[in-house]
Amino acid sequence: MSDNTGPKMVTLTIEGRTAVVPEGTSIIEAAKTVGVLIPHYCYHPGLPVAGVCRMCLVDVEKFPKLAPACATTVMEGQVVHVHNEKARTARTGVLEFLLINHPLDCPVCDQAGECELQDYTFQEGRAESRYEEPKRFNPVEDFGGDVMYVPNRCILCTRCVRFMTEVADDPVLNVSERGDRAFIGKAPGHDLTNEWAGNVVDLCPVGALLSKDFLNKARAWELDRSASICTGCSQGCNITVETRDNTVVRLKPRSNDDVNLYFMCETGRLDYRWINRRDRLDQPQVRSPDGALRVMDWEVALDAAADALRGRRVHVLASPNASNEALFLAERVREASGGQGWYRVSYGHEAPLPGVPDLSLRAERAANGTGARLLGYHELTGAPTIGADDAVLIVDDTLEQHATDALLQALRAAAVLVHAGTTLPTAIADRVHVTLPLANHTEEEGTFTNLRGRVQRFLQSRTAPGLARPSWYVLADLTERLGLTASLAQPAQVFDALAAAHAPFAGLRHATLGLRGRLVANAAEFAEANAGATT
Ligand code: SF4
Ligand code: SF4
Ligand code: FES
């Protein structure tokens, strides 16, 4: 029974620690609140409970037999033992059964180092096998999309089946056969080309479902990991960027209940190669009197950029994947000079994930279109109006997609073109006065605002090439030279200056954004304004 102060709370003891959790909580979740991880395979907080693996058996006082912690709800005064001999012996037995047909593949398995079968066997499995008979063998199967199935490694936890059936609403997978012949089957004529199917690879606790894209690219322990935000669309899924030797090799979802739960789509997951592109700008360049772009020191190039912009009306053409911080600083230049602020964005199909409310691959294929709009930029659909004496500051628009002749002509006709970006667009390379090399979003820190008005931080994952610098750093140096900002030495300072200057961001502080983000002041309007996109 609930009262109007919230759900009824239940107090119990788990491994000698007192847990106080809402009524209806499972023992496995209650244990997490007091820092106890109960071993498990089939249980996942983003899936319906199945209770099929028995790896989560715990000893509950006064219960006649061991209880599965994932499928048993807490009771007042309950006393739970996770690591006493009775519970551990049972789980050691479960592991022994799971390993009967599991091959000794760890040296060649992509999951090694992040495999829950490895981890729990090391933690509480038998030291040696008593099984001498030949192991079952089934050939590897291409499941379609980015997914490969290695049945010999499968422990039949059914996480993949439940995800495709209950969350993706695309019941392609099933448990075929029974007993030790059981394996995960695929419905005839169907495959895992669903936009969200790649999540089964993350959900699989062992190396039975693998990403074809990541196959044999790296061992788990060779990877560096950083918290980031996907730039694939305006949903703003929380992700982990994984790099090996400064190269991005894999993107994985990072949980955030308010944005993407535990999942990410294939469009966002697999579109990362551009991040590693080799044709990056890595030195500042200034147009010399002989007409050629010459490499210069940063100080010389920034002075040249400020001199070129000073006294002119400056329009800004910014990427909707630029950070809030970069957009804010460029906006200062535009606003002070009376120019226009534009962004261009691509659109694609929408692909909701049926089992998770308000999670979809969004039509707007950029991370920060909302941030751009909040900061005074307008979507540019036709050719811009640029006066003969005007300047244009380009902020990381590569001019590679949908750059019409009319747009390029208008840009080329500007009196001054200052470019700050990761690559120099060839269509305007001969007209640019100064070009300033920027880090991309994996090489700097910053924030994006998603379509619901959630401001979320992304962290640096790797180093930028050559002398390229973070966008906030370059634009803060430029605005300081133009007398528009006092010295801003940290991305946090830039964000706090942004929040102080723009009403929707009022009340937000970089220090309190955390890694789950905070909503802008008028987020309710945003939810409504964007509601037509997808429910
Ligand atoms: S393939 Fe992986 S997720 Fe699916 S049942 Fe087997 S072990 Fe579980
Ligand atoms: S839904 Fe959008 S933000 Fe989320 S993973 Fe896909 S492309 Fe990235
Ligand atoms: S995790 Fe509880 S039975 Fe599988």
Q: For residue range 67-96, list pLDDT tens digits in order.
A: 999 999 999 999 999 999 999 999 999 999
Distances (CA, A) of 75 to 30, 71, 228: 11, 13, 39
Phi, psi of 149 (to 5 degrees): -110, 125
Which CATH number is associated with domain 9-95? Answer: 3.10.20.740
Please count the other Cβ atoms lying within 10 Å of the Cβ belonging to residue 17.
13
CA–CA dist 516, 514 (Å, integer) = 6
pLDDT above 70 for 532:
no
As a whole number of angstroms, the distance between CA 466 and CA 102 comes to 47
Could you say which ligand is closest to the alpha carbon of residue 28? 3
Predicted model pTM? 0.95
CA distance 56 to 465: 47
Spatial separation of the C-alpha atoms in residues 483 and 261, rounded to whole Å: 44
Q: What is the mean pLDDT of the chain?
A: 95
Q: What pLDDT does residue 522 have?
A: 85
- Per-residue pLDDT tens digits for 265-311: 999 999 999 999 999 999 999 999 999 999 999 999 999 999 999 99
Task: Quote the ligand 3 centre to 305 CA distance (angstroms).
Answer: 62
Q: Whose CA is nearest to atom 3 of ligand 1?
A: 204
Residue that wins the pLDDT comparison between 529 and 173: 173
Give residue ranges with CB within 6 A of ligand 2.
230, 232-233, 235-237, 260, 264-265, 267-268, 361-362
402 confidence band (pLDDT: 50, 70, 90): confident
Residue with tokens 């133009």: 482
Q: How many Å apart are CA 47 and CA 71, to the nearest integer? A: 12
| Ligand 3 in reach of 56 Cβ (< 6 A) | yes
pLDDT score recorded for residue 4: 63
Report yes or no: 209 and 201 within 8 Å, Cβ to Cβ.
yes
CB neighbourhood size of 252 (10 A)? 18
| Ligand index nearest the alpha carbon of residue 263 | 2
- Measured CA angle at 158 (ends 156, 163), to 5 deg: 155
Question: What does the alpha-carbon distance between residue 453 and residue 387 come to, in Å, rounded to a whole number?
Answer: 34
Question: Rounded to whole angstroms, how far apart are CA atoms 272 and 95?
Answer: 37
422 C-alpha to ligand 3 centroid (Å): 48
Domain locations in the chain as residue ranges: 9-95, 109-114+132-222, 285-529
Is the domain covering 285-529 a CATH 3.50.50.60 domain? no
**How far apart are the C-alpha atoms of 307 and 20, rounded to whole Å?**
63
Number of the ligand 2 atom closest to the C-alpha atom of 266: 6
What's CA 117's distance to the chain center, in Å? 26
Mean pLDDT (whole number) for 92-104: 95
Q: Residue 530 has what pLDDT?
A: 52
Cα distance between residue 166 and residue 255, in whole Å = 19
Q: Give the domain 109-114+132-222 fold.
A: Alpha-Beta Plaits (3.30.70)
Phi, psi of 22, deg, nearest 5: -65, 150
Instruction: Read off the pLDDT of residues 439-485 as tens digits, 9 standing for 90 and up.
Output: 999 999 999 999 999 999 999 999 999 999 999 999 999 999 999 98
Q: Is 45 helix (H, G, I), strand (E, B) or coil?
A: coil
- Would you say residue 534 has pLDDT above 90? no
Question: Which sign does the torsion angle of CA 368, 524, 535, 359 carry?
Answer: positive
**Ligand 3 and 51: CB distance under 6 A:** yes
